[in-house]
Amino acid sequence: MRDKTILVTGGAGYIGSVCTELLLARGYHVIVLDNLKTGHRKAVHPKAEFINGNIGNKSLLGRLFNGNSIRAVIHFAAETLVTAANTQPQSYLANNLVQGIHLLDSMLKHGCRQIVFSSTAAVYGEPNDVPIKETHNTNPLNAYGDSKFMFEKVLKHYGNAYGIKSVVFRYFNAAGCTKHYGELHNPETHLLPLILRVPLRQSDYINIFGDDYDTRDGTCIRDYVHVSDIANAHLLALEGIEDLNNPTYNLGNGTGFTVKEVIATAEQISQCTIPVRIQPRRPGDPAVLVASSDKAREQLGWNPNYTDLESIVESSWAWHLRHKDGYD
Ligand code: UFG
């Protein structure tokens, strides 16, 4: 079973739940490790084995690695709220960096050498060149981006010194849902689920954080990439990891949409007018974040299926209509 058992940390979260679903569909045996601090128990696929716990709990990890023949870890578990990261850096560094190192040490101790890590476009800070390539200079503007970037560096050192094989993915704006698993955070801060609350009659309007950016309509441009396409990239990484040289890949569609364009698309798909309120800029928001994902396409053979905004928003709308009360 060693070739087929994967430990997914954060498998009760948004991207982790979708990746778990895909791994199971491809015949893998999945163990989900999640402390349910932000994840949802019902977002864990029923065929996955669920363990409630922290990624830095060495005795728990020891039991997990001893009791199962785990081939690789896909490491999603993290604290991810950018604003909170700046006021509580201790917690972000403890969870995203220090506990992550405990996870790596447990892997090493038990002979598990492969890890796929969820990093973020936040490592780039305010970009100089768009689309952003992996070679772009890095300058995280917040403790969240920094915690992810530091762990990327840890992976490089553990690769060089101890032979850990890693693939790092820097996600741009994950969006969209599958039939069963969707985007649901508490508190919700992400644009698309917040927009959809209006046609769901859970909000009266959507805030637009800044309409005075130097972009085509004054609102921020982001690169939205479907969560299933992100999950596919993880599968390709698992399949190729042994032959790759500890690479880092951006995951995005390569096309940017403004906040107003996302709202207009949601209006068209939900057939509902979505009132907006213009608010001041949100601190630390770059005007434009668009990925070059040529490297992932060329080296991994990654080929996103959801290349237009409509299909991404449509998948999200369909899930939210069916899950008006979340997973309950
Ligand atoms: N936005 C609004 N109104 C809202 C929410 C968001 O106008 O109510 C705007 C934001 O200002 C931003 C865009 O919509 O311009 C997208 O915002 P999100 O919060 O959905 O996503 P971010 O681009 O801020 O964040 C994403 C990931 C983070 C990651 C970051 C990298 O969700 O994990 O990209 O910069 F750190």
Token pair 């060495």: residue: 58
pLDDT at 148: 97
181 is catalytic: no
Cβ-in-10-Å burial (0-12, 13-18, 19+) of 68 comes to: middle
Domain coverage including residue 145: 2-175+224-251
- Residue 209 inside a domain? The answer is yes
Pairwise CA distance, residues 178 & 19, whole Å = 10
pLDDT at 82: 81
Query: pTM for this structure?
Result: 0.97
Whether 136 and 275 share a structural domain: no
Joined together, the tokens standing for residue 307 give 């290349």
CATH classification at residue 98: 3.40.50.720
Residues of the chain short of pLDDT 70, as ranges, are 1-2
- Does residue 283 line the site of ligand 1, with CB under 6 A? no
Q: Whose CA is nearest to atom 12 of ligand 1?
A: 220
Tell me the pLDDT tens digit for each residue of 113-134: 999 999 999 999 999 999 999 9
Q: How far is CA 291 from CA 4, 41, 198, 199, in A?
A: 32, 32, 29, 30
| Catalytic residue (one of 144, 158, 181, 249) | 144
- Residue 297 inside a domain? The answer is no
Pairwise CA distance, residues 39 & 32, whole Å = 11
Whether 28 and 143 share a structural domain: yes
- From start to end of the chain, where are the E strands? 5-9, 29-34, 49-52, 72-75, 114-120, 165-171, 173-175, 206-209, 221-222, 224-226, 248-251, 257-258, 276-279, 288-289
- Residue 283 inside a domain? The answer is yes
Q: How far is CA 141 from CA 150, 210, 215, 256, in A?
A: 13, 18, 21, 21
Whether 26 and 137 share a structural domain: yes
Tell me the pLDDT tens digit for each residue of 279-299: 999 988 999 999 999 999 999
Centre of ligand 1 to C-alpha 54, Å, is 27
Whether 215 and 124 share a structural domain: no
- Residue 184 inside a domain? The answer is no
Whether 145 and 236 share a structural domain: yes
Centre of ligand 1 to C-alpha 209, Å, is 9
Whether 63 and 145 share a structural domain: yes
pLDDT at 3: 75
Number of domains in the chain: 2
Whether 167 and 315 share a structural domain: no
Pairwise CA distance, residues 166 & 149, whole Å = 14
In b/e form, how buried is each residue of 72-82, taking b as 16+ CB within 10 angstroms? bbbbbbbbbbb
pLDDT at 116: 98
Whether 206 and 86 share a structural domain: no
CATH classification at residue 218: 3.90.25.10
- Residue 145 inside a domain? The answer is yes
Centre of ligand 1 to C-alpha 28, Å, is 33
Please state the atom number of ligand 1 nearest to the C-alpha of residue 209.
Answer: 7
